[in-house]
Amino acid sequence: MPRVVIVQVIYNNRKWIQPVFEAIFKQSFTDFKAVAVIAGNEDGGKEFLAEKFPRVEIIDPGCNIGFAKGHNLVFEKYDCEFFQLVNPDMIMSETYVEEMLKAFADESVGAATGKLYKIQDSGFKIKDLREKKLLDTTGVVIKKSGRAFDRGQHQIDIGQYDNSTKVQAVSAAGAMYRASALQSTSYYLPAKQEFFDEDFHSYWEDVDLAWRMSNKGWQCVFVPAAIGFHGRSAGSSRGGYFHVINFIKHHRALPERIRQLNYKNHIFMYVKNSPYFYPQFFAREFFMLIYILLFEISTLKILPDFFKLLPKIWKKRKLIYQ
């Protein structure tokens, strides 16, 4: 069996396939298997991938099964020590996997992330990206209010995140997971085992998983020597809540479906994993609801699905804390 399975869930991302998979097959660490799950193929990406990179094993379920379920298929199917996730728009430097593996010499480490820089345009080369130094993530911070955000996002890298450190969670854009940590953190539902929460479909499933890992005693770590470059279609607004105009512009520019999943899933993540329901959570949700009523009323179309799933999410919380 390979020591590492590199996995990507592809949803109509043909324009990224060549640079992303070229970077995968240039890795200094070579004991890996590359797997791609096709969640959307309206742009012919599957055929392009098969032609250009025949070493990639392709799984095509024939529908958009979502980020969570797509990865779960791979977690269940393959026997390995580690899973290296690569977002469809994430390019690894040549030593990314090699550097990430070093963090797992500590057997308490269940998940790790590298230092990811933000790709700001489509006409890029790796050598050019190194000069931009605009950070995308160095791990995830989780507040008592339930707000979670990528550490360092939008900051210029001046060395402030050059030290390896424990973090509360990792972004799945370039995360590596220990297979045994995934197994110990999963829970069993009727007829299936769940790693990423499939009721999330996409967004926040990575923080949910990392939070569960933390609750089980696993550590999440940041590996600054593992360098990657991430396109990211959705992220936090510059300045967060404190720059109101930027916040409104950023959120209104997001597709409606992303806003809906973001709203539903961040609440589910907190309900499942927070040991206590802090007052900060209720205060934040109150003001968030006011904001949505004023500026993004279409986000509330997700409420029927939210209330339908809420009892199931509460049952998952009981499984986690049993």
Backbone angles phi, psi at 83, to 5 degrees: -115, 125
Tens of each residue's pLDDT in the chain, 322 residues:
689 999 999 999 899 999 999 999 999 999 999 999 999 898 999 999 999 999 999 999 988 888 999 999 999 999 999 999 999 999 999 999 999 999 999 999 999 999 999 886 545 554 445 555 889 999 999 999 999 999 998 899 999 999 999 999 999 999 999 999 999 999 888 878 999 999 998 889 999 999 999 999 999 999 999 999 998 755 454 555 555 566 666 556 678 888 999 999 999 999 999 999 999 999 999 999 998 998 899 999 999 999 999 999 999 999 888 7
- The answer to whether residues 249 and 218 touch, using CB atoms and an 8 Å cutoff, is no
DSSP, residue by residue, 197-221: -TTT-SSSHHHHHHHHHHHTT-EEE
The continuous run of DSSP H or E covering 85 comes out as: strand 82-85
Cβ neighbours, 10 Å, residue 130: 13
Place of tokens 């032609």: 51
pLDDT value for 241: 52
Q: Please state which CATH number belongs to domain 4-230.
A: 3.90.550.10
- The answer to whether residues 41 and 12 touch, using CB atoms and an 8 Å cutoff, is yes
- Tell me whether strands 165-167 and 90-92 are parallel, antiparallel or unpaired: unpaired
- Tell me whether strands 109-118 and 176-178 are parallel, antiparallel or unpaired: antiparallel
Alpha-helical regions (H) of 104-233: 126-132, 179-185, 205-215
Backbone angles phi, psi at 312, to 5 degrees: -65, -40
Pick from 98, 147, 94: which is nearest to 284 by CA? 147
pLDDT value for 247: 62
pLDDT value for 213: 95
Place of tokens 């939070």: 211
pLDDT value for 133: 82
Tell me if the pTM is above 0.75.
yes
pLDDT value for 22: 97
CA 294 to chain centroid:
29
Burial of 181 (C-beta count, 10 Å sphere; 0-12/13-18/19+): buried
Tokens of 279: 């007052």
Q: What is the dihedral of CA 139, 141, 142, 143, to 10 degrees?
A: 180
pLDDT value for 136: 93
Domain with CATH 3.90.550.10 in the chain: 4-230
- The answer to whether residues 224 and 139 touch, using CB atoms and an 8 Å cutoff, is no
Secondary structure class of 136 (helix, strand, coil): strand
